[in-house]
Structure 1
Amino acid sequence: MWLTINDKQIEANEGMSVLNAALGAGIYIPHLCGHPDLEAVGGCRLCSVEIEGMNQAVPSCMIKVQEGMKVTVNGPKAEKTRKTAMELILATHPADCTGCPKYGKCELQSMYQYLGVGPERWKKKTRTVPTDESNPLIRHLFTRCVRCGRCVRACRELRGVKVLDFQTTEEGVRIGTDGNISLIEAGCKFCGACIEVCPTGSIMDALGQISEDVSYGEHVVPCRTACPAHTDIPRYLRYIKEGDYEKATSVIREKLPFPETLGCICNHVCETACKRNELGEPLSICKLKRAAAASHSDKWKKNRKSAAPTGKKAAIIGAGPAGLTAAYYLAKKGHEVTVFEANEKAGGQCRYGIPSYRLPDEVLDREISDILEVGVRLKVNTTSEAPEVLLKQGYDTVLIAIGTHKGILLPLEGNKLSGVILNTDFLKNARRDQIGDLGKKVMVLGGGNVAYDCARTALRLGAEEVHIACLESKNNMTADAEEIKEGKDEGIILHSGYSFLRITGNTKVQGVELQKVDQFYFDENRKAVIKLVEGSQEIIPVDHVIFAVGQAPDGTNTLGVELNHGSYVKVNSSFSTSVSGVFGAGDVVTGTKSVIEAIAAGRQSAIEMDRYLGGDGDISEELLKKEMADPFLGRTEGFGNLERLTPSRLEPQERKKSFAAVEQPFTCGEASCEAGRCLQCDLRLNITNPKLWNEY
């Protein structure tokens, strides 16, 4: 139907409000309680207009369009009504906007500027209601509330959680919970919809939740931002909650070619960033990823696309997570890819540095097979030529991704004795079933996850007593808390906060002398300062000592590229080395980090190498068509206090007997319950952002 607004004829759909018809046609009508995603209530009166045939100005959000209707936006009656309404709103609003977190982005500020109602006309009434900072994640500045009701409608209608409402208090009407109980007690789901629709900054993210270092969207969904590969975590968690593992796997694989591997061993920095930490414990994101991937659905492959052959050839040196990831994406871009691997099997440190009780061979084999399917050629038991030689042999580009397979030996007295082993050699030979008799007692030196891998492996290989000693206090150890607990349950004896003085013995290891650390810190030059407790020396009798204090690249001095810090490959921001056409990625560049960071580096190096080969560098893929998530959450009693679920594990005494997988995947019911704890932070980004007047 047709109507006229400000002498301009516009077309509108039947049932549409005059306000929405005008805004849709690019004609601005002031409004505050109205929001594109919420039902109108006509409370603020700021959207008042004059309509031919009506004596008084009326709220345009409440009037439906009619054929032939004539509307005047800025008539004298409408302007008087709007200015009076604005002055009433401002009468109890702080005059100083500069301290407001929404300064410069406030809809109210924009509107009073548009209406020409300045602070000098405000008839002030003091409202000294203290800010409520008692709830996690959400901060409520009552003095900035204009009672527009958007937050109430978003909570009740848009989300269906029904926590917020208008409350009558001694200070007057304000927004809150029935009985003034906490948001957790009231059943809040902390989705943030109230924050998103608030026009003035009365309801805000709690202090510390917003970072200036990242974009707004990135801080709203911190788990996705923290993930080095930026996997769309909330999206696949919704599918897991619904029990649709096929769709969840597709979403994960849009960014990661190793989903089940990561589900077993990822360091899950996404969980550290999860907003659920403010309510207790984070989502078990890593284990949920495994639950989806362990369904072994192959339906994602039907949407996997590969480009036509480009005639370009790429060589990858090293078949670890970084090298195989780069190979996968380069092959999908149409390039001919060959991966050279010196070991008998692909997988890098995933294969030879992580025990099979954490990452079974069959998981790695299955996901490497998926990578090879796209046309990647793998040469195992093959030591590659130097990159410049490969370029001369016809390869157009080369990636160095050989990882860090050389263990570090500390310069301790006795470090050459029989019975001293390096972490990398020990774990690799354990995987190959090439470890001899360890004797009864073993000492592992180091406090990281690799130290625990070595210690727990030694137990499974027959050692009766296994110790771990490290400089750091228990609270400052780099090993995951989960690893420390599992090690303790299995009988690992931890000596945290001890310095290693020497390894005792004549020709063979007999013990390790330790001394208690009083202070351990790094000075301004990043040099370690260790102060010991006098008279605290003790010798722990052991038969073998395993050094697990770090690892480094091996053989990089023969590659012909510029190195950093001794043996690490130096690259620039585009992953290029000092040799044109040669790139570097993963631990060989950064030092030993995590598998997910190596995968992220493999992705980025593939982008840069594709560009070098003349491509557009676009390796993104859509394995599942995006669906609009349902904004309606509904109530879940006790949602804020739901406890984190953990997968079942073998009992400690049982798991020490073999290298069988310690942890089992979530059952479907467990996965659905755990995924249901997600706050679904990303739904905030689907809420329409209202335009300010200067945008029309």
Structure 2
Amino acid sequence: MKIIIEGKEIEAKEGASVLEASLEAGIYIPHLCKHPDLEAVGGCRLCSVEVDGVENPVPACKTTVQDGMSIKISTEKSDKTRKMAMELILATHPAECTGCPKYGKCELQSLYQYMGVSAERWRKKSRPVPNDSSNPLIDHLFTRCIRCGRCIRACRELRGVRVLDYQRTKDGIRVGVDGGLSLEEAGCKFCGACIEVCPTGSIMDSLGMKKEDMSYSDSVVPCRAACPAHTDVPRYIRYIKEGDFVKATAVIREKVPFPETLGNICNHVCEDNCKRNEFENPISVCKLKKAAAEGDDGSWKSKVRREAATGKKVAVIGAGPAGLTAAYFLAKKGHSVTIFEENEKAGGQCRYGIPAYRLPDDVLDREIGDILAEGIELLTNNKVENPKELLNKGYDSVLVSVGTHKGTLLPLEGNDLQGVYVNAEFLKKARQGQPLEVKEKIMILGGGNVAYDCARTALRLGAKEVHIACLENIDQITATKEEIEEGREEGIILHVAHSFLRIAGSEKVEGVELQKVDKFYFDSDRKAVIELVEGSNEIIPVDNVIFAVGQKPAGTEAMEIELTHGPYIKTNESSETSVRGIFAAGDVVTGTKSVISAIAAGRKSAEEIDKYLGGNGDISENLLEKETPDPYIGSCSGFSKIERTSIELVEADKRKCNFDIVEKTLSKEKAMCEASRCLQCDLRLNLKAPKMWNEY
């Protein structure tokens, strides 16, 4: 139907309000209680307009359009009504805006500036209501509330959580929870919709939740931002909650070609950043990924992006997670890719640095097979010492991703005795079925997950007593809590806050001398400062010592490319080395990090190599059509207190005797239950941002 606004004829949808029709046509009418995702209530009176044939101004948000209707926005009566409404709002609102966290982005501020209104005609009414910062994730600044009701409607109607409502208090009407309960007690799901729709700064993210050095969306969804590959964590967890593991795996594979591998061994920094940490334990993202990947049927393969052949040839040196990832995405961009791997099998540290009880061969073989199926040529037992040779052989570009496979031997007295090993060789030999000899008592020097890999591998090779010693105290140690606890269950003896002085023995290892550490920290120059406890020396009798204090690249000195910090390859922002056409990615550039970091580096190098070869650098793909999630999440009593689903392990006395996988996969029911703990932070980003008047 047609209506006339300010003399301009526009088309309006039947059943629409005057406000909706006007805004749709790009004609601004002041409003505040209306939000694009919420029904209006007509309470603020700021959208008052005059309609021909109606004596007094009416709220545009509650007036339905009629064919031929004529509306005037700015008249003496409507302006007076709006001005008085705004003055009444401002009379109880704090006069000082600059201290408000929403300063410059406040709808109320924008609106009263547009209207040219202040509260000077009205005596200010002080509302000395203290702020409420007692709830996790959400702060409530009651003095900034204008009682527009948006947060209540978002909570009750849009989300269906039904926690917020108007409360009558001795300080007047304000937004709160029935019975004076906390948000947690009332069953709040902390989805953040109330924050998102608040037009002022009354309901805000708790201090520290939003990071100034991060984009708004990254602050809202910190798990996705923390993932080096930016996997869409909330999206695939939502599919797991619905029991659709196939769709969940497709979402994961849009970013990484190793979902099941990561489900077994990822360092899950996403969990460290999960907002659930503000209550208790985070979502078990890593193990949910494993459950989803094991339930996959491979249907995503039909949607894989495959571009026409470009005629360009790329050589990848090193078949670890970085090299395989880069090769995978470059092949799908139409480039011919050959991988050169010096070992007998592909996989890099996943194959030779991570014990089979954490990551079985069949998982790696299956996922590497999917990668090679994109037409990639893999040449194993093929070591390339100088990448320039490949450029001379007709390859248009070379990626060096050889990882860090050389263990570090500390300059301790006795480090050359018989029975001293380094982590990289020890783990690799065990994985190859040619283990180094271990005797009854073993000492591992180092406090990271690799130290625990060595210790637990030594147990499985027949050691009777295994020790780990590290400089860090229990709060500083870099091994995960899970590794420490699983190691303790298997009988590993941990000596935290101990310095290693020497390895005792004449020809072979007889013991390790340790001394207690009083303080261990890094000074302003990043130099380690170690203060020891005098007289605390002791010798632990052992037969073998394994250094697990870091790894570094091998053979990079012969590559004739610029290095940095010793053997690491120097690259620019485009992952390119000092030699044109030769790129590098992964641990060989950054030092030993994590599998997911190597995958992310592989993605980045694929983008840059594609651009170097004349492509657009776009390696993104959609293995699943985007679906708009249901904004209605419903209520759940005690939601914030739902415990994290525990991961079942094989009993310690059984698992320490072999290299069989130690973790049991979550059942479908348990995975769905665990996924239901997600706060679904990303739903906030689907709410439409109201347009300010200057955008019309």
Normalised TM-score (structure 1): 0.99
SS of the residue aligned with 2:679? Answer: coil
Residue in 2 that maps onto 1:257: 257
Q: Secondary structure at the match of 2:521?
A: strand
8 Å CA contact 2:430–2:436 kept in 1: the answer is no
**Post-superposition offset of 1:123:** 2.4
Q: CA–CA distance in 2 between the matches of 1:364 and 1:84?
A: 70
Superposed CA RMSD in Å reads 0.8
Report the counterpart of residue 401 of structure 2 in structure 1: 401
- For the 8 Å contact 1:195–1:204, the answer to whether it is kept is yes
Q: Which amino acid aligns with 1:405?
A: H
1:532 deviation in Å?
1.1
Q: Work out whether residues 315 and 340 of structure 1, in 8 Å CA contact, stay in contact via their aligned partners in 2.
A: yes
Specify the code of the residue in structure 1 equivalent to 2:364: L
**1:524 deviation in Å?**
2.1
Distance in 1 (CA, whole Å) between partners of 2:671 and 2:493 is: 34
Instruction: Measure, in 1, the Cα distance between the counterparts of 2:247 and 2:273.
Output: 24
Aligned ranges for residues 374-413 of structure 1 at < 5 Å? 374-413=374-413
Other-structure match for 1:81: 81
1:10 aligns with 10
- Residue type of the alignment partner of 2:276: R
Matched, 1:487 2:487: yes
Give the aligned partner of residue 417 of structure 2.
417
Deviations 1:344-391 (A, max 9, x none): 100000000000000011000000000000011000011125111110
Matching of residue 287 in structure 1 with residue 304 in structure 2: no
Tell me whether 1:248 sits opposite 2:243 in the alignment: no
1:268-347 alignment, distance < 5 Å: 268-347=268-347
User: Quick one: distance in 2 between partners of 1:440 and 1:375?
Assistant: 48
- Tell me what 2:540 maps to: 540
Amino acid corresponding to residue 404 of structure 2 in structure 1? T
Please say which of residues 112-121 and 568-577 is displaced more in the overlay. 112-121
Residues 411-441 of structure 1: CA distance to partner in whole angstroms, max 9, x if unpaired?
0010000000010000000001112441110
Which amino acid letter does the alignment assign opposite residue 431 of structure 1?
R
Equivalent position of 1:614 in the other structure? 614
Once residues 457 and 240 of structure 2 are traced to their aligned partners in structure 1, the CA distance between those partners, rounded to angstroms, is: 33
Deviation at residue 475 of structure 1 after TM alignment: 1.1
Contact 1:94 1:144 in 2 (8 A): yes
Q: Which residue of 2 aligns with 1:220?
A: 220
Alignment of 1:104-253 (within 5 A): 104-253=104-253
CA deviation after TM superposition for structure 1 residue 122, in Å:
4.1
Q: Secondary structure at the match of 1:478?
A: coil
User: For 1:565 and 1:74, how far apart are their aligned partners in 2?
Assistant: 69
Alignment of 1:98 with 2:98, yes or no, is yes
User: What one-letter code is carried by the residue in structure 1 that aligns with 2:204?
Assistant: M
TM alignment of 1:573-612, pairs within 5 A: 573-612=573-612
- Give me the whole-angstrom Cα distance separating, in 2, the residues matched to 1:400 and 1:175: 59
- Inter-partner Cα distance in structure 1 for 2:122 and 2:97: 14
Secondary structure at the counterpart of residue 49 of structure 2: strand
Write out aligned runs for 1:424-463 (5 A). Answer: 424-463=424-463
Aligned to 1:675: 675
- Counterpart CA distance in 2 for 1:368 and 1:34 is 53
**SS state at 1:261 partner:** helix
> What is the SS of the residue equivalent to 2:475?
helix
Tell me which residue corresponds to 1:652: 652
Please tell me whether the aligned partners of residues 429 and 436 of structure 2 are also in contact (alpha carbons under 8 angstroms): no
The range that moved more, 434-443 or 664-673, is 434-443
The question of whether the paired residues in 2 share the 8 Å contact of 1:249 and 1:297 is answered with no
Contact 2:87 2:118 in 1 (8 A): no
Deviation per CA, 1:74-121: give whole Å up to 9, x if none.
111111110111111111000111111111111111111111112433
Distance 1:468 1:301 in 2: 44
What secondary structure, in the 3-state scheme, does the structure 2 residue paired with 1:283 have?
A: coil
Matched position secondary structure for 1:315: strand
For 1:367, give the aligned amino acid: E
Distance in 2 between residues matched to 1:531 and 1:102, nearest whole Å: 47
Contact 2:407 2:550 in 1 (8 A): yes
Alignment-derived partner of residue 51 in structure 2: 51
Deviation at 1:541, TM superposition (A): 0.7
- The residue identity in structure 2 corresponding to 1:120 is E
Q: Residue 135 of structure 1 aligns to which amino acid in structure 2? A: N
Counterpart amino acid of 1:669?
A: E
| 1:194-241, Cα deviation, whole Å (9 max, x unpaired) | 000000110000000111111111111110000000011111001000
Instruction: Report the residue type matching 1:619 in the other structure.
Output: I
8 A Cα contact 1:339 1:377, kept in partner: yes
Aligned equivalents of 2:18 and 2:599: distance in 1?
53
Q: TM (normalized to structure 2)?
A: 0.99
Distance between the aligned counterparts of 1:83 and 1:322, measured in 2?
62
Q: CA offset at residue 327 of structure 1?
A: 0.4
| Contact 1:569/1:577, CA 8 A, preserved across alignment | yes
How many angstroms does 1:23 deviate by?
Answer: 0.5
- SS of alignment partner, residue 576 of structure 2: coil
Corresponding position of 1:519: 519
Aligned-partner residue type, residue 233 of structure 1: V
Cα separation, 1, equivalents of 2:400 and 2:49? 68
Report the residue type matching 2:687 in the other structure. Answer: I
Structure 2 portions without partners, runs of 5+? none
2:385–2:555 contact (8 Å) kept in structure 1: no
Corresponding residue for residue 61 of structure 1: 61
Give me the whole-angstrom Cα distance separating, in 2, the residues matched to 1:575 and 1:252. Answer: 24
Counterpart Cα distance in 2 of 1:637 and 1:142: 25
Kindly state the Cα deviation for residue 664 of structure 1 after the two structures are TM-superposed. Answer: 1.2
Structure 1 unmatched runs, 5+: none
Counterpart of 2:275, as a letter, is K
- Please state whether the residue corresponding to 2:36 is helix, strand or coil: coil
Amino acid at match of 1:622: N
User: Can you list the C-alpha shifts for 1:609-638, whole angstroms capped at 9, x where unaligned?
Assistant: 001111110000000000000000001111
Q: How many residues align?
A: 696
Letter in 2 for 1:594: S
Q: Distance in 1 between matches of 2:471 and 2:107?
A: 55
- Distance in 2 (CA, whole Å) between partners of 1:683 and 1:676 is 14
Aligned mates of 2:690, 2:438 — CA distance in 1: 69
Q: Distance in 2 between matches of 1:424 and 1:385?
A: 20
- Residues 1:687 and 2:687 are matched in the alignment: yes
Q: Is the 8 A contact 2:568 2:590 kept in 1?
A: yes
* Separation (CA, whole Å) in 1 of partners of 2:96 and 2:541: 71
Distance 2:565 2:117 in 1: 64
Q: CA deviation at 1:295?
A: 1.3
SS of the aligned residue for 1:87 comes to helix
- Structure 2 counterpart of 1:644, one-letter code: R
Contact 2:426 2:436 in 1 (8 A): no
- In the aligned structure 1, how far is the partner of 2:499 from the partner of 2:40? 69
Matched-pair contact (CA < 8 Å) for 1:158–1:632: yes
Aligned match of 1:555? 555
User: Aligned partners of 1:495 and 1:217: how far apart in 2?
Assistant: 42
Q: Deviations over 1:666-686 (max 9, x none)?
A: 100010000000000010011
Contact 2:338 2:378 in 1 (8 A): yes
Q: Distance in 1 between matches of 2:251 and 2:178?
A: 40
Alpha-carbon spacing, 1:645–1:324, altered in 2? closer, same or farther (3 Å):
same
> Matched residues in 2 for 1:487 and 1:670: separation?
25
Distance of 1:119 and 1:216 partners within structure 2: 32
Residue of structure 2 in register with 1:567 after alignment = 567
Tell me the SS of whatever aligns to 2:402.
Answer: coil
1:436 and 1:127 map into 2 onto residues whose CA distance is: 75
Q: Is residue 341–residue 382 contact of structure 1 (8 Å, CA) maintained in 2? A: yes
Q: Partner amino acid for 2:183? A: L
